[in-house]
Amino acid sequence: MNGAEALIRTLVNSGVEVCFTNPGTSEMHFIAALDSVPEMRAVLGLFEGVVTGAADGYARMTDSPAATLLHLGPGLGNGIANLHNARRARVPIVNIIGDHATSHRIYDAPLQSDIESLARNVSGWYRSSATTAELAGDAADAVAASHQPPGQVATLVLPADVSWTEGASPVAARPRPVANEVSGDVIDSIAKVLRSGEPAALMVGGRATRERGLLAAQRVAAATGAKIIGETFPTRLERGAGLPAIDRLGYLAEFAMAQLAGLRHLILVDAKSPASFFAYPNKPSDLVPDGCKVHVLASGSDDPTAALQTLAEALGAANADIELQNAVRPDRPTGDLTGETIGNALGAVLPDGAIVADESNTSGLWTSGATAGVPRHDWLTLTGGAIGFGMPVATGAAIACPDRPVISLQADGSAMYTLQALWTQVREDLNVTTVIFNNRSYAILNLELSRVGVETPGPKALSMLDLSNPDIDFVALATGMGMAAERPETAEDLTDALERAIAEPGPHLIEAMLPGRW
Amino acid sequence: MNGAEALIRTLVNSGVEVCFTNPGTSEMHFIAALDSVPEMRAVLGLFEGVVTGAADGYARMTDSPAATLLHLGPGLGNGIANLHNARRARVPIVNIIGDHATSHRIYDAPLQSDIESLARNVSGWYRSSATTAELAGDAADAVAASHQPPGQVATLVLPADVSWTEGASPVAARPRPVANEVSGDVIDSIAKVLRSGEPAALMVGGRATRERGLLAAQRVAAATGAKIIGETFPTRLERGAGLPAIDRLGYLAEFAMAQLAGLRHLILVDAKSPASFFAYPNKPSDLVPDGCKVHVLASGSDDPTAALQTLAEALGAANADIELQNAVRPDRPTGDLTGETIGNALGAVLPDGAIVADESNTSGLWTSGATAGVPRHDWLTLTGGAIGFGMPVATGAAIACPDRPVISLQADGSAMYTLQALWTQVREDLNVTTVIFNNRSYAILNLELSRVGVETPGPKALSMLDLSNPDIDFVALATGMGMAAERPETAEDLTDALERAIAEPGPHLIEAMLPGRW
């Protein structure tokens, strides 16, 4: 068998069963070998940002990597932004980057570039496979590397001749790396801090925002009076009725500082010490209040969930009574479409087990509150700040969880970065309902313009934030990619449309026109 | 004045009068300062690949840089593929990449990444501006660096605090670097080769594919019997009635080898020694025939046009009689839409002074021949192989040359990478007519699949090259971005539509459905 087939079989042996692809000539042997390995599902994206974002969404829902298949340096370049988000989400992904044949590199052909420097930008592990004999082992190493806690992007470069040469054999999966147990000394010192009675908070992020971690954190909080604060942009937050309800740290530093005010101890659980997203003139970037000490319970390759559970035991709180979120839904909204009525529509109809990919930005201010008490669901957010993540991540999440409805909350400006994801959703008949919040603006930038101190922007500046000339018609764009789409004009109609779209199999898009800039 | 305003004023002083933007929060002071500098035109793109491709198209037509404005590493990442093409086109571009404030970097905020490694991947010159006092000088240096012959991408990183701090002053333009004169020894040795009477060809590329270079090459050929071969993917080929007609080297190695067969001398004029675009099993990458010597007349920072003129003089051919392309147009085509009839439609109506941005790929096989004798025009091609260049480059060319009609020949698969360019064409009311060649396939990959030796691809492999599930409706997609669009069904109707679209001001899209895969 050739290198390509041994590579794909090794990926399957290692638990990788989905490959998101956007191939070119140098990847044709990989493509041809797909038919020899029925266990590997191949999903085509029309742009690499769709491919890498889908792999991110898949990994967030399965804790296991999908593969990507990308075409040399420029193909990887197009996928960099969503790989940046995946790097910040700390999820496992295995990139397979096709390269020129090793003998071809001396010619500096048009598509040649420095793949390694691009790949290392977003990858915790990188290798270029040198020979067909080594390829399968390299692939097994790549999958194992992607699982290195907390999870990381692993990139394997596949030269065309390494792929097409015969004589390869697949190999078995490598042992999967396991997370470190946090030491008793660390647990004891954090327990001591929490017993001091001084104002304290647990800052919970990364892998700790799932049910088990949140329950343990809630028990710690119940026993000690500590607050729980979720990181601003969680990779995957499990929430809803019956789970602990946690507030996320505000994106706006002004709100975040209010949440943190008065704390004497901040305990990081797979989260970073809070800093503002951007810097602003004459404002501090560091959001930790004066006099507040920062402690680390778990980070990097530690197991944060186990650490929280051990901490709860150390505090005698393993069976503490805790308050869980009540089941509550907003009423079906009426009247005009606003951020608030759309949020309430979502709260009114979100079904049990939904997955929400949230890139609603300013318009989505109300969605989190309106859905706090609806049936249990997962909330995926923009971990790395590179917009264009929402529709690809929704796509990957739907591939990962075919039996769960996926809701893609999408701001108009961000939607235009990776719109091609809609095509893949149609091709794969995915249960994704996209809600476009169309305010015809980069609304966040209108807000940020004043926050950075620009009091009276001129017409040229404002035109750079304005998406109304020309207006974008997302119903037409979705229809152009074969997707059922509609534009309800009242909150009642939007609620009905949302309910119908979620109930019907296959993808749908609902465009909500919003007044004002934000 | 703050750093941002001094930066923009310095760019204008240095001859940079257009900035293609896709800004974020860290660029808000730059955006706000645009209103203080009326000489700087700002053009918004909804995706960074549009921004960087537009800067490429602008530079190809003006030989002068536009600026880009990009948002940190992920924004640059989205622009990498078209910067790769620009690097291969060797055109001047000045990237301004907003970065976090210098004091903010220690927090490793979500959008932080290694901008430098990404930027150096595509840039011949790179600097991160350290202080507001140095910023204007850095900008002047960047513009000068972009002009370094043959032209290159220069990247200046702009930290937010360097941009917002007061106390800056603009500076004057730096001296513009000039190209080297090729030495008399080189001219003499090439002249000697050409006088030998052995079969020889001039391989003409880069800056030498403009009228003056082609005329000088034609005189050399007339005096010596040498052939002229154009590089496969020229940055900007001046062609049409009254200009020398040159054949470009074929993309398919099989054709290229036939063009080169029998040569004893190949003289490179701002072009690379011919190698295949990709490697194929059991086929050579190097296309230079056995026994053929490769000589370099001009490369890198040399002036290839002056070298050709000096060579013609050395051969006593400065006033040689040469044959120029006759004026000839194909008849208006009739019948079904095919690659051939669309090519003839283009030939039948292409107006004087048109600019053609050609990303028609397999479907465009006939367009070059059908337009050889039409009135003088410029032909821009995919220099770096990173698809998604066509519509952005057409956009930038139209900004550069508002009085010239731009024709964007666009394959369907490639169109989906940077489709957002249509929105900018509408916003700026550009005279661009886009022709979509929609064969519902990555047709080139069907061809390449057999060329790499895959004789019987399976259904999974073929599905990765198939764009028919779902069909893409480009009329709907263009309409969704406010562009007039139609789908003529016969060659007669397409010819009429093309003529009408070119005659009417503003952008239009014409979708041509093609049979078969290629």
User: Would you say A509 and A430 are in contact if contact means Cβ atoms under 8 Å apart?
Assistant: no
Residue B403 phi, psi dihedral angles, 5° rounding = -95, 5
B117 chain-A contacts, CB cut-off 8 A: 117-118, 120-121
Structure tokens at A50: 């769709």
Cα separation, B24 vs A385, whole angstroms: 10
pLDDT at residue A102, rounded to an integer: 97
Low-confidence ranges of chain A (pLDDT < 50): 517-518
Structure tokens at B119: 């930027």
Residue A457 vs residues A450, A464, A465, B6: alpha-carbon distances, Å: 9, 11, 11, 17
Chain A: residue whose CA lies nearest to B119: A118
Query: Which of the residues A2, A20, A46, A69 would you substitute to probe the B interface, choosing the one with the greatest number of B C-beta atoms within 10 Å?
Result: A46
Q: Which CATH number fits domain A184-314: 3.40.50.1220, 3.40.1030.10, 3.30.365.10, 3.40.50.150?
A: 3.40.50.1220
B3 chain-A contacts, CB cut-off 8 A: none
* Tokens 């470190």, residue located: A180
Contact A103 B477 (CB under 8 A): no
Contact A100 B279 (CB under 8 A): yes
Structure tokens at B198: 């052995």
Closest chain A C-alpha to B367 CA, distance in angstroms: 22
Q: Which residues pair with A64 in a beta bridge?
A: none
Contact A460 B34 (CB under 8 A): yes
> Which DSSP state fits B2?
B
SS3 A338: coil
- Residue ranges covered by each domain of chain A: 3-164, 184-314, 339-513
User: Would you say A21 and B445 are in contact if contact means Cβ atoms under 8 Å apart?
Assistant: no
pLDDT at residue A518, rounded to an integer: 43
SS3 A227: strand
Cα separation, B385 vs A111, whole angstroms: 5
Chain B: residue whose CA lies nearest to A424: B470
Residue B231 has pLDDT above 70, yes or no: yes
pLDDT at residue B516, rounded to an integer: 62
Q: What H or E segment, with its residue span, contains residue B436?
A: strand B432-438
* Tokens 């507001």, residue located: B132
B425 chain-A contacts, CB cut-off 8 A: none
Closest chain A C-alpha to B320 CA, distance in angstroms: 35
Structure tokens at A350: 């979100």
pLDDT at residue B451, rounded to an integer: 85
pLDDT at residue B363, rounded to an integer: 83
Contact A84 B100 (CB under 8 A): no
Strands A377-380 and A237-239: antiparallel
Query: Across all residues in chain B, what is the average pLDDT?
Result: 96
What share of residues in chain A are helix, strand, coil (percent, to 5)?
40, 20, 40
Q: What H or E segment, with its residue span, contains residue A502?
A: helix A491-503
Burial pattern B437-458, b for ≥16 Cβ within 10 A else e, equals bbbbbbbbbbbbbebbebeebe
* Tokens 């991160």, residue located: B128
Q: Which of B15, B12, B63 is nearest to B397 (CA)?
A: B63
Closest chain A C-alpha to B506 CA, distance in angstroms: 13
Q: Which of B47, B40, B91, B37 is nearest to B70 (CA)?
A: B47
pLDDT at residue A453, rounded to an integer: 85
CA Rg value for chain A: 24
Residue B291 has pLDDT above 50, yes or no: yes
Contacting residues for A455 by C-beta, under 8 A, at least 6 apart:
none
Helix axes A491-503, A339-349, angle to 10 degrees: 40
B277 chain-A contacts, CB cut-off 8 A: 25, 109-111
Query: Across all residues in chain A, what is the average pLDDT?
Result: 96
Q: Is A166 on the interface with B (CB under 8 A)?
A: no
Q: Which CATH number fits domain A339-513: 3.10.20.30, 3.40.50.970, 3.40.605.10, 3.30.750.24?
A: 3.40.50.970
Q: Which of B41, B9, B1 is nearest to B136 (CA)?
A: B9
Structure tokens at A69: 């298949």
Contact B423 A470 (CB under 8 A): yes
Strands B67-71 and B93-99: parallel
Superfamily of domain B3-164: Thiamin diphosphate (ThDP)-binding fold, Pyr/PP domains (3.40.50.970)
pLDDT at residue A121, rounded to an integer: 96
Size of interface A-B (CB pairs under 8 A): 317
For B90-124, write each residue's pLDDT tens digit: 999 999 999 999 999 999 999 999 999 999 999 99
- Residue A150, preceding bond cis, omega within 30 degrees? yes
Cα separation, B238 vs B106, whole angstroms: 51
For A264-322, write each residue's pLDDT tens digit: 999 999 999 999 999 999 999 999 999 999 999 999 999 999 999 999 999 999 999 99
* Tokens 């087990």, residue located: A353
Residue B515 has pLDDT above 90, yes or no: no
Closest chain B C-alpha to A202 CA, distance in angstroms: 19
Residues within 8 A of A (CB atoms), B 343-402 only:
383-386, 388
Cα separation, A446 vs A518, whole angstroms: 8
User: Would you say B73 and B114 are in contact if contact means Cβ atoms under 8 Å apart?
Assistant: yes
Q: What is the dihedral of CA A49, A50, A55, A60, to 10 degrees?
A: 100
pLDDT at residue A516, rounded to an integer: 63
Closest chain A C-alpha to B313 CA, distance in angstroms: 33
**Alpha helix ranges (H) inside B437-481:** 443-451, 459-463, 474-480
Structure tokens at B177: 């670097």
Residue B430 has pLDDT above 70, yes or no: yes
Cα separation, A78 vs A470, whole angstroms: 26
Cα separation, A427 vs B440, whole angstroms: 13
Query: Which of the residues A17, A18, A31, A391 would you substitute to probe the B interface, choosing the one with the greatest number of B C-beta atoms within 10 Å?
Result: A31
User: Would you say B411 and B434 are in contact if contact means Cβ atoms under 8 Å apart?
Assistant: no
Cα separation, A117 vs A300, whole angstroms: 23
Residue B518 has pLDDT above 80, yes or no: no
Residues within 8 A of A (CB atoms), B 275-314 only:
275-279, 281, 285-286
For B169-210, write each residue's pLDDT tens digit: 999 999 999 999 999 999 999 999 999 999 999 999 999 999
Contact A107 B34 (CB under 8 A): no
B85 chain-A contacts, CB cut-off 8 A: 74
3-state SS, one letter per residue, for A52-90: HHHHHHHHHHHCCCCEEEEEHHHHHHHHHHHHHHHHHHC
Closest chain B C-alpha to A265 CA, distance in angstroms: 19
Query: Which of the residues B18, B20, B28 would you substitute to probe the A interface, choosing the one with the greatest number of A C-beta atoms within 10 Å?
Result: B28
Closest chain A C-alpha to B317 CA, distance in angstroms: 34
Q: Which residues pair with A96 in a beta bridge?
A: A69, A156
Q: Is A441 on the interface with B (CB under 8 A)?
A: no
Cα separation, B463 vs B441, whole angstroms: 9
Q: Which amino acid is at B404?
A: R
- Residue A284, preceding bond cis, omega within 30 degrees? no
Contact B279 A104 (CB under 8 A): yes
Q: Is the C-alpha dihedral spanning B187, B190, B195, B196 positive or negative? A: positive
* Tokens 């999966």, residue located: A173
Q: Which of B5, B58, B375, B302 is nearest to B169 (CA)?
A: B5
Residue B242 has pLDDT above 90, yes or no: yes
Query: Which of the residues B5, B19, B31 would you substitute to probe the A interface, choosing the one with the greatest number of A C-beta atoms within 10 Å?
Result: B31
Q: In what order do the strands lie in the sheet with A200-204?
A: A247-248, A227-230, A200-204, A265-269, A293-298
Cα separation, A110 vs A20, whole angstroms: 25
If one counts every other C-beta atom within 10 angstroms of the C-beta of residue A515, the result is 10
Closest chain B C-alpha to A317 CA, distance in angstroms: 34
